[in-house]
Structure 1
Amino acid sequence: MTVRIVTDSTCDLPRELVERYGIIVVPLTVIFGEEALLDGVDIDAEQFYRRLAASKVLPRTSQPSVEQFAAAYRQAFQAGADAVLSIHISSKLSGTLNAARIAAAEVAAEAGRQIELLDSKNVSLGLGAVVLAAAERAVTGADLASVLAVATATIDAVHVVCVVDTLEYLQRGGRIGRARSMLGTLLNVKPLIHVEDGEVAPFDRVRTRARALERLAEFVREHRGASRLFVACAGNDGETEAFIERVRPDLPGTEIIRGHIGPIVGVYTGPNTLGVCPVMPV
């Protein structure tokens, strides 16, 4: 059976993996003033952070349209897919899944084939981990139920934690969630946030950037049995490479996947964010 994986651009997977597994990525839109740019099509992460630094106003984001999703599903079926598994950003963070659901009902009816939708309850590295696990199973010829089972199990096997310079971007962008409780207590403090039950929540707070990175390394070491570790940054590549070399000796047998926090997620986390996502065996 041929199962095709569809996701959205908040998965922040490296392009090489997207191409290797034939994953169809539907882009969200980042908006600077009146200029709308498709994530990963019109603007990449490096271009975005340069522009963010020069921008006097905070950019906005927009979810994909129903038409974009319908086109993606038709593309999958026209390429020979028997079924589609569409995995997306947490429904608590975006309306993306709702647009996908409307399109799926339309295209599944016209094609006479199945489109299954899955809320990853995550974003960025966490979403990417679920998508990659599903795609790896799909290319083995597994049926839709098997691919869905792997994806669902992976949702419970991932944990995203990030060091951010400031909560300002999350607050202004309206995605701060339960991390709001940290506001007003962050003078000279570096916050760590994580994704819990599909929304942003406080993880820890420390006094310096160096201590924040050490706390992140401690978190990684607590997951020594991870099959994979996703690591992504927001323009701070040198710091990120040093972090990876710092934790690598503690992770024998763990595959490390290096990526970048893309424009959509970057609107809310800001520059110099460093995030990790250990994936425990399922």
Structure 2
Amino acid sequence: MKIKIVADSSCDLNEKLSEKLNIDLVPLNIRIGDENYIDDENLDLRTLLNKMNNSRLAPQTSSPSPQAFIEKFKEKEKVFVVTLSSALSSTYNNAVLAKSMILEEVENKFVHVFDSLSASVGETLVCMKISELAENNLNELEIVEKVNKYIKDMKTFFVLESLENLIKAGRMSRLKGHIASALSIKPIMGGNDEGKIKLVDKVRGSKRALRRLVEIIGEQGERLEEKVLGIAHCNCLEKAQKVKEKVEEKYNFKDIVIVEMSGLSSVYANEGGIVIAF
């Protein structure tokens, strides 16, 4: 079945996936102080990271407008949309509004918007699942049913190398943040059933944090041989590859993909951050 997949720019891709999935990405906007960045293919990630690290202000993000989504809906294909968690952004609501607006113009058009309840490589895996089901010639309603179940079952976890953005944003007190940094405490975070972020564990040291992250896969995962593991990294490919190696030693995933974070994911994870989803 011929389809179009549309996602916001939190959906992190590598070159191979970009070619295979042919996803239309709708960029979010990132603001740091008085400078605005569009999270598209022209964004220089190194410039963004340097600006974040040198600014006293927390980076702010804004969702694409409904009109930005509508522009992607106008072609003839059946359209499946994947957004980052509605608990983290208004992007999902704007995509749903765009769907309502386009259906007023073209009544027989098919558009379905998925709330990934995740972000970064979690969105990527949802897009991969949609593409796989379409290649197997499932109809629209079957795809919706199976992808909704996939989203419900999917797990997302991440490790932060730096707490600086949490401190700047006021989500962690400066004193607690500096104490945690001084003690090299690394929080391991995850998504709950509502797509909100929760603290899963905290350990001292980056190496221990990554080992613990790999352990959590075994504690929380089921039927891993049937699943794809996605690993997203913020400017730390070597670290992502080490996670992949450790996972392969312990588990038998169907496949493992590594992607580099876009601007939006990097804002939340910061340099050195790792996100996994399965």
* TM-score of the superposed pair, with normalisation by structure 2: 0.86
CA contact (8 A) 2:6 2:81 kept: yes
CA contact (8 A) 2:32 2:51 kept: no
Query: Structure 1 residues 12 and 44 mapped into 2: Cα distance closer, same or farther (>3 Å)?
Result: farther
Match of 1:133 in 2: 129
Match of 1:225 among 198, 223, 226: 223
Q: Residue by residue, what CA displacement relative to the aligned partner does 1:100-144 show, whole Å, maximum 9, x if unpaired?
A: 122111112212212122211111122221121112212344321
Q: Within 5 Å, which residues of 2 pair with 1:115-126?
A: 115-126=111-122
Match of 2:268 in 1: 268
**Match status 1:35 vs 2:35:** yes
CA contact (8 A) 1:167 1:269 kept: no
Query: Sequence identity of aligned pairs in percent?
Result: 26
**Match status 1:64 vs 2:61:** no
**C-alpha separation between the residues in 2 aligned to 1:228 and 1:85?**
20
Match of 2:252 in 1: 252
Query: Structure 1 residues 268 and 21 mapped into 2: Cα distance closer, same or farther (>3 Å)?
Result: closer
Match of 2:141 in 1: 145
CA contact (8 A) 1:129 1:158 kept: no
**Match status 1:198 vs 2:172:** no
Query: Structure 1 residues 61 and 216 mapped into 2: Cα distance closer, same or farther (>3 Å)?
Result: same
Counting matched residue pairs gives: 268
Match of 1:114 in 2: 110
Q: Residue by residue, what CA displacement relative to the aligned partner does 1:22-53 show, whole Å, maximum 9, x if unpaired?
A: 22211111223333222132215455334434
Root-mean-square deviation (CA, aligned residues, Å) is 2.4
SS at match of 1:247: helix
Q: Residue by residue, what CA displacement relative to the aligned partner does 1:180-226 show, whole Å, maximum 9, x if unpaired?
A: 9xx67836221111111211110101122221111012123443732
**Match status 1:213 vs 2:224:** no
**Match status 1:158 vs 2:146:** no
My pick for the range that moved more, 65-74 or 9-18, is: 9-18
Amino acid at match of 1:95: S
Query: Structure 1 residues 224 and 86 mapped into 2: Cα distance closer, same or farther (>3 Å)?
Result: closer
Segments of structure 2 that go 5 or more residues without pairing to the other structure are: none
My pick for the range that moved more, 193-202 or 130-139, is: 130-139
Question: Which portions of structure 1, spanning 4 or more consecutive aligned residues, are displaced by more than 3 angstroms?
Answer: 32-35, 44-48, 50-58, 170-174, 183-187, 221-225
Q: Residue by residue, what CA displacement relative to the aligned partner does 1:75-111 show, whole Å, maximum 9, x if unpaired?
A: xx2xx31x21212111110011121122111112212
Match of 1:91 among 86, 91, 101: 86
**C-alpha separation between the residues in 1 aligned to 2:247 and 2:191?**
21
CA contact (8 A) 2:162 2:272 kept: no
My pick for the range that moved more, 251-260 or 162-171, is: 162-171
Amino acid at match of 2:269: T
CA contact (8 A) 1:234 1:273 kept: yes
CA contact (8 A) 2:33 2:55 kept: no
Match of 2:7 in 1: 7
CA contact (8 A) 2:160 2:269 kept: yes
CA contact (8 A) 2:229 2:253 kept: no
SS at match of 2:101: helix
**C-alpha separation between the residues in 2 aligned to 1:96 and 1:233?**
22
**C-alpha separation between the residues in 2 aligned to 1:218 and 1:73?**
41
Amino acid at match of 2:5: I
SS at match of 1:276: strand
Match of 1:101 among 64, 80, 96: 96
- Per the TM alignment, residue 56 of structure 1 is displaced from its structure 2 partner at its CA by 5.1
